[in-house]
Structure 1
Amino acid sequence: MTEPFELTERGAEGLGYLGLGLMGIPMARRLLQAGFTVSVWNRSTGKTAALAELGARPAASPSDVAATASIIFMCVTDAAAVEDVVFGPAGLANTPGTAKLVVDFSSIHPDATRAIATRLKGINGMGWIDAPVSGGTKGAEEGTLAVMAGGDAADIERVRPYVLAMARRLTHMGPTGAGQTTKLCNQVIAGCAMTVLAEATRLATNAGIDAGRLPEALAGGFADSIPLQLFVPRMVQGIHSPPLGHIATILKDLDTVVDVARKTSTAVPMTSLAAQLFRLAELARGADADALEIYKLSETKSR
């Protein structure tokens, strides 16, 4: 595994980061702390200030980032946002892109990824890696993210040292779109786990036992998992700020799973149910609420 400090001996490439949300800020910060030169852009410019204090170069547009960076990282909300950043006014497509790479950490439909990558390559020659992540804001802060990537093998190796400044693991899963498909598999597990853990936690509470001790009681057994240890305490204690992820985000991904499942004749009954539960949670708690607020769906009034 190549470490960032080894790279500096060969001469690091100029980096860019587009999209400074819950994930983008801590990920870009880790690049800066590793000593890399990073240009940053965000639709709302206020979020660039803290990174500028760490040495980041605020840019006026995605095109401005691409003018100085040879590897451009991106993490935005959905496919429409990716399209706008790439093909909109002052987007990446407006800058010469030969020998440059986009590494998209966003979670979008595999079909959209392939279409965007093909179109951008045809316009300016810029390459594309779809590299969605797992690990949430905690993983972004601590550099423990798991990154699942789709694209050319040589391109993956070119960006690996930089990605590993932000993540613990980078796995090449196949051609363009394979990273997004792998993330959907991750979301099947994570999304269903949230709903099941909310159910178990509510059962414990309603039955009169201390639900907060479930992680301790089940540690090391077949029910133990990172979600159990992380999610249940937050549910029980009502810790939802900062959110681990928004309801709208997990719902978007689960809806994408259902669409890909339909196209591939794959039965996903558990995921379909989880999506409907999150849809109810979105109506009850709001799109920007923490996904773990799904636990509150089963609240009952005091008798």
Structure 2
Amino acid sequence: MTGTGDGKGSRAEKLGYLGLGMMGVPMARRLLDAGYELAIWNRSAAKAKSLVEAGAKLVADARSIAESASIIFMCVTDATAVEEVVFGSTGLASVPGKGKLVVDFSSIHPEAARDIAARLKSANGMNWIDAPVSGGTKGAEEGTLAVMAGGDATDIERVRPYVLAMARRLTHMGPTGAGQMTKLCNQVIVGCAMAVLAEATRLASNAGIDAGKLPEALAGGFADSIPLQLFVPRMVQGIHSPPLGHIATILKDLDTVADVAQATSTPVPMASLAAQIFRLGKAARGADVDALEIYKLSAAKES
């Protein structure tokens, strides 16, 4: 793509994206749609096909991304995957990295983010921003994600125009790890909201009223929210594909909340209860089903 006065093309940073899952594919596509050249990599190359057709360059491994890109975006499943992408034999740490920057959209433990960032900086001079997101696949597709970031303020401003091609909001929350800590607060609210909305929706259904009308009836009142408007219709209508998020993902985050809460002597009774509901959901429905399938736990006849 040609360089223009809008900051794209030859005047833009060279971008890379690692991890093309439920969030990575639509986020990377928005960078392409914004006119940025993009190198991509994923363990399963098949997931990259649509992005290659849209103009992305598929490379052989994470190291190839680090060699070609000055800003490297990443969204993988957990801290183990982050560790492998960064420090594996063909990882980001295997090439000189001074002046380059990793923006990690993954949701991992704040301590893991701080540790990985420090080790990478020591290994090759590459800087790190932990930047978990909220808004789900719908937000990724529509570019309405909220991004909460930890890292150096100068680095945050450097990546801002590129992040805002994928998101509606980028908030600098503090030093490395602060983005992950903010995401945990987000997950306390979202996880508890899912559990409470499943309970309210089942109560309405069992009492004989049209649970599908709850979003309309409560709109504008104190109970109104984006989760109410988005989650309840999906629960009532049994819409779980594609999933808004996997049970295993929200459970991982709520278990991390419990770990941080113990370390900081913070009582989290509601988040702990929500975690147990999702743990039941994982046992009954499976790890990779839509998190909203916890609604089915309270109805024995649901399939």
TM-score range, shorter chain: over 0.9
CA contact under 8 A between 2:9 and 2:35: conserved in structure 1? no
* Aligned-residue offset at 1:5: 7.3
Distance of aligned partners of 1:67 and 1:146 in 2 relative to their CA distance in 1, 3 Å threshold: same
Matches within 5 A, 1:122-141: 122-141=122-141
One-letter identity of the residue aligned with 1:176:
T
- Name the CA distance, whole Å, in 2 between partners of 1:240 and 1:168: 25
What residue is the counterpart of 1:299 in the other structure?
Answer: 299
CA contact under 8 A between 1:110 and 1:178: conserved in structure 2? yes
Please give the TM-score of this superposition, normalised by the length of structure 2: 0.97
- Name the CA distance, whole Å, in 2 between partners of 1:85 and 1:5: 34
What residue is the counterpart of 1:8 in the other structure?
Answer: 8
CA contact under 8 A between 1:7 and 1:161: conserved in structure 2? no
Counting matched residue pairs gives 299
Specify every segment of 5 or more residues in structure 2 that has no aligned partner in the other structure, as ranges: none
What residue is the counterpart of 2:34 in the other structure?
Answer: 34
1:230-258 Cα shifts (integer Å, max 9, x gaps): 00000000000000000000000000000
What residue is the counterpart of 1:264 in the other structure?
Answer: 264
Matches within 5 A, 1:189-208: 189-208=189-208
What residue is the counterpart of 1:253 in the other structure?
Answer: 253
What residue is the counterpart of 1:104 in the other structure?
Answer: 104
Distance of aligned partners of 1:175 and 1:5 in 2 relative to their CA distance in 1, 3 Å threshold: farther
One-letter identity of the residue aligned with 1:298:
S
* Aligned-residue offset at 1:9: 8.1
Please give the TM-score of this superposition, normalised by the length of structure 1: 0.97
One-letter identity of the residue aligned with 2:284:
A
CA contact under 8 A between 1:235 and 1:292: conserved in structure 2? yes
CA contact under 8 A between 1:5 and 1:34: conserved in structure 2? no
- Name the CA distance, whole Å, in 1 between partners of 2:208 and 2:272: 31
1:154-211 Cα shifts (integer Å, max 9, x gaps): 0000000000000000000000000000000000000000000000000000000000
Specify every segment of 5 or more residues in structure 1 that has no aligned partner in the other structure, as ranges: none
Q: Which structure 1 residue ranges, 4+ long, deviate > 4 Å from structure 2?
A: none
Matches within 5 A, 1:138-217: 138-217=138-217
* Aligned-residue offset at 1:140: 0.1
SS at match of 1:171: strand
- Name the CA distance, whole Å, in 2 between partners of 1:112 and 1:172: 19
CA contact under 8 A between 1:134 and 1:146: conserved in structure 2? yes
- Name the CA distance, whole Å, in 2 between partners of 1:60 and 1:161: 27
What residue is the counterpart of 1:229 in the other structure?
Answer: 229
Matched, 1:53 2:58: no
- Name the CA distance, whole Å, in 1 between partners of 2:120 and 2:301: 54
One-letter identity of the residue aligned with 1:247:
I
Distance of aligned partners of 1:207 and 1:39 in 2 relative to their CA distance in 1, 3 Å threshold: same
One-letter identity of the residue aligned with 2:205:
T
